[in-house]
Amino acid sequence: MTRWLVLALLVAVPAAAQDVPFDQTQVQACLDSASPSTCVGDEAAACSAQTGSNVGYGFCLRAELTFWDAELNRVYGVLIDLTEAQDAELKSYGSAAPAMTPALRAAQRAWIAWRDAQCDFIRTTFGGGTGGNPAATDCLMRLTAEQALRLDAELAGQGR
């Protein structure tokens, strides 16, 4: 009997993940119309209000984290392309200025390590309790969103 219960739960979890009422178009609409920092976490909260469960809340947080991670990767890619072009241009002029692209890559790698360590710390503050994973996911989502917005502001400062 226990074996069937475990099997039923394993089958139900992927189905529940597919039914999460997270709408990334709502996050994008918020970004397009409001102060971007006010958009972080709103759709995960709206999504979790519809699920009515802690498991649903976790799926909603993960869905918004996925949105912000994709946004971070998009903005980072554009910024890498821009710095590579600027580095090449400076090199063509014989400039001795330090290259921006390796510095950007190093900064992003250091930021990822810091973010992951910070959110692991948040998880530990729950003493192994069930709130640790959602808290860590919320931390990852918020810090990833902040970094995406920070790099997007850097792009805007570059005139892009």
Q: Residues 138-155: pLDDT tens digits?
A: 999 999 999 999 999 999
Contact 36, 10 (CB under 8 A): no
Q: Residues 18-33: pLDDT tens digits?
A: 576 677 777 777 777 7
Continuous H helices in 52-99 = 54-92
pTM of the model: 0.81
Mean pLDDT (whole number) for 81-89: 96
Domains in the chain, ordered, with CATH?
22-30+37-157 (1.20.1270.180)
Contact 39, 30 (CB under 8 A): yes
